[in-house]
Chains A and B, each alone.
Chain A
Amino acid sequence: MGKILVVIEPNQDASMQMFTVAKELGGETDAIVMNDCECVSILPCSTAYNFSMDMYLPLQATDAVAKAIEISGATTVLIAATQVGRDLAPRVAARCGGSLIGDCTTVSNESGSIQCTRPVYGGKFVATIQAGDGLNIITVRPNAFASTDETGSPTVQTIETNHDDRETISAVEESGTNEMGVADADVIVSGGRPMGSEENFASLYELAHLLGGTVGASRAAVDEGYQPVARQVGLTGTVVAPRLYIACGIDGAIQHLAGMRGSQVIVAINTNPDAPIFKVATYGCVIDLFELVPALTKQLQQSPQPA
């Protein structure tokens, strides 16, 4: 196994999971941190590169990562499949003449060659993909691998990049809250049509926050205007694979399942025992969500989650 380069977004646990993937593949590991971050000097790797970039810009980030690939001589690049990672990886692969395997749920070393599996056709199938010769850029779904607490004392090297004046961020408008997006969440509590109103979703946010996660929604709930489109999970929304997905009053239409069936553990809360959501659920609760959600919230408030 040749040299591995892990790409780190600051404060992104999904990026730290890439060190676990690197360990699994086995190989000397370097890292590159997007933007200066205190974490750089304690990453569990040999050399840690960093570069300044306040906000993600594709051309500039590609330039920095391409330089790190060249300096480190990496043949495998691991990037968490977050919004930024998905945007960056293809550019890096195209820039450096590498191959790209995106959105992997498993990555393994089969006698020296890398094999990955990834969902295709809306999660209806799983393809096993053999990496190419030479440089491979691989993005890995958040939470497909455990994170690591390991630290190290790498040599830190700064990479010079310049802002490319063909791309400029001209405005950033906070969309109300700092609520995390569904693609990056570890735990998602999703609500369907029976939520009935935007106000009722507040109870799901409360539960989700107690669990350290965020809220998703079915298309029916989005179409009714209870939640913004960015929260829609499914074929035409976001495809998610959190550690825990709690579906509250969601029927389990095939287009919804396409977006969440890859979750590690699925809890279904539904009044109809024959709802299709129970076919993919790990745990099922046949009950009115408006009875169970408050009970869960109350018990979590009494015995909170360890942080």
Chain B
Amino acid sequence: MKILAITNAVPDPRGTLTTGDLNINSGGVKWAINPYDEYAVEQAVQLKEQRDDVDEVIVIAVGGDEAVTALRHAMAMGADRGIHIVCNDVWHDDLYVAKCIADAIETSGDTFDLLLCGKTNLSRDSESMGPALAEFLDIPHVGSVITLVVGDESATATHRVAGANETVEVKLPALVMCDKTLVDPRYPPLPKVMQARKKPLETIEPTTITSKTAVIEFNSPPEKGACTVIEGSPEEMASELLRVLREEAKVL
């Protein structure tokens, strides 16, 4: 069995970001692995540790130099090797990323039984890459997975839907989008980080496709008007708040 984990680099959420040319100004940005992708990599590595039929865990990312940060982190966590699809525009839409990965899989000749990715990409604020990739590969997928059992021919995945936990059985090969609480991602110790630098990392060019959509403006969100402070006793505050919500903001 071969497992592919898909990863991305995102700006460290603690850093400050400024606007650049139709994107963030990437100078000085500290990049880290997308937090949800850590669940995907952890799940892949745990499967390899638990089963003796998992030959390889491969990790793949699309992006510029920052993608290497995510790939090396995933290899430090235990992935065996990495594939870096080089794409230097900092903005690429999810469908483009999914197509690049699908094409890379096709040309590599590798066949994967299980593909794992994070539920959300925190740069693009998006959950679209996984379902799009599954569709390009013509395999089933399950979103927001919180428990996963992988058998020989199928996988059983539980995810949250409105008011319920739904369990879905999918035939392999399949793609699973990992949500938090699925597994507890390990923090790789320094020796693993050093070892990961020596693991094979293949660099490939994307196929000649481009994002079909384009970013034409990139701005900070409009400032909210100043906050209106409501005063008085609890009862006065409550009635004034309900009044403004009904009459001024018209949201009730």
Using a CB–CB cutoff of 8 Å, the interface residues on chain A facing chain B are 55-59, 62, 83, 86-91, 93-95, 98-103, 115, 118-134, 164-175, 177-181, 184, 187, 211, 229-230, 235-236, 239, 243-244, 254-255, 258, 261-262, 264-268, 278-287, 291-292, 294-296, 298-300, 305
Q: How far is the CA of A39 from the CA of B214 in the complex (A)?
A: 36
Q: How far is the CA of A262 from the CA of B125 in the complex (A)?
A: 13
Q: Which residue of B lies closest to A119 (CB)?
A: B125
Using a CB–CB cutoff of 8 Å, the interface residues on chain B facing chain A are 11, 13, 17, 19, 24, 35, 91, 93-95, 98-99, 122-136, 139-141, 143-144, 156, 160-171, 174, 180-181, 212-222, 224-225, 227-230, 234-235, 237-239, 241-242, 244-245, 249, 251-252
Q: How far is the CA of A235 from the CA of B229 in the complex (A)?
A: 27
For B235, list chain A residues within 8 Å (CB). Answer: 295, 299
Q: Which residue of A lies closest to B229 (CB)?
A: A284
Q: How far is the CB of A54 from chain B (nearest CB, A)?
A: 12
For B168, list chain A residues within 8 Å (CB). Answer: 57, 167-170
Can you name 13 extra interface pairs (CB under 8 A) apart from A99-B212, A126-B219, A127-B218? A91-B132, A100-B132, A125-B220, A126-B221, A172-B165, A172-B166, A174-B164, A175-B160, A235-B122, A254-B13, A264-B249, A281-B224, A295-B238
Given A120-B125, A299-B238, A167:B164 Cβ within 8 A: no
Contact A283 B125 (CB under 8 A): no
Q: How far is the CB of B154 from chain A (nearest CB, A)?
A: 9
Contact A119 B165 (CB under 8 A): no
Interface centre among B91, B181, B237 (most CB of A within 10 A): B237
B228 touches which of A59, A98, A239, A283 (Cβ 8 Å): A283
Contact B241 A285 (CB under 8 A): yes
For B160, list chain A residues within 8 Å (CB). Answer: 175, 181, 230
B140 touches which of A167, A184, A261, A279 (Cβ 8 Å): A167
Given A90-B95, A130-B214, A235-B122, A170:B156 Cβ within 8 A: yes
Contact B13 A267 (CB under 8 A): no
Contact B128 A86 (CB under 8 A): yes
> Can you list the 7 inter-chain pairs with the closest CB atoms, starting with the nearest?
A132-B212, A99-B212, A128-B217, A94-B135, A295-B238, A90-B132, A90-B128
Q: How far is the CB of A165 from chain B (nearest CB, A)?
A: 7
Contact B221 A124 (CB under 8 A): yes
Q: How far is the CB of A85 from chain B (nearest CB, A)?
A: 10
Given A173-B165, A230-B160, A284:B228 Cβ within 8 A: yes
Contact A90 B227 (CB under 8 A): no
Q: How far is the CA of A235 from the CA of B180 in the complex (A)?
A: 12
A284 touches which of B169, B221, B227, B249 (Cβ 8 Å): B227
Given A128-B218, A175-B164, A282-B224, A287:B237 Cβ within 8 A: yes
Contact A83 B215 (CB under 8 A): no
Q: How far is the CA of A100 from the CA of B30 in the complex (A)?
A: 28
Contact B95 A284 (CB under 8 A): no
Given A126-B220, A278-B227, A90:B129 Cβ within 8 A: yes
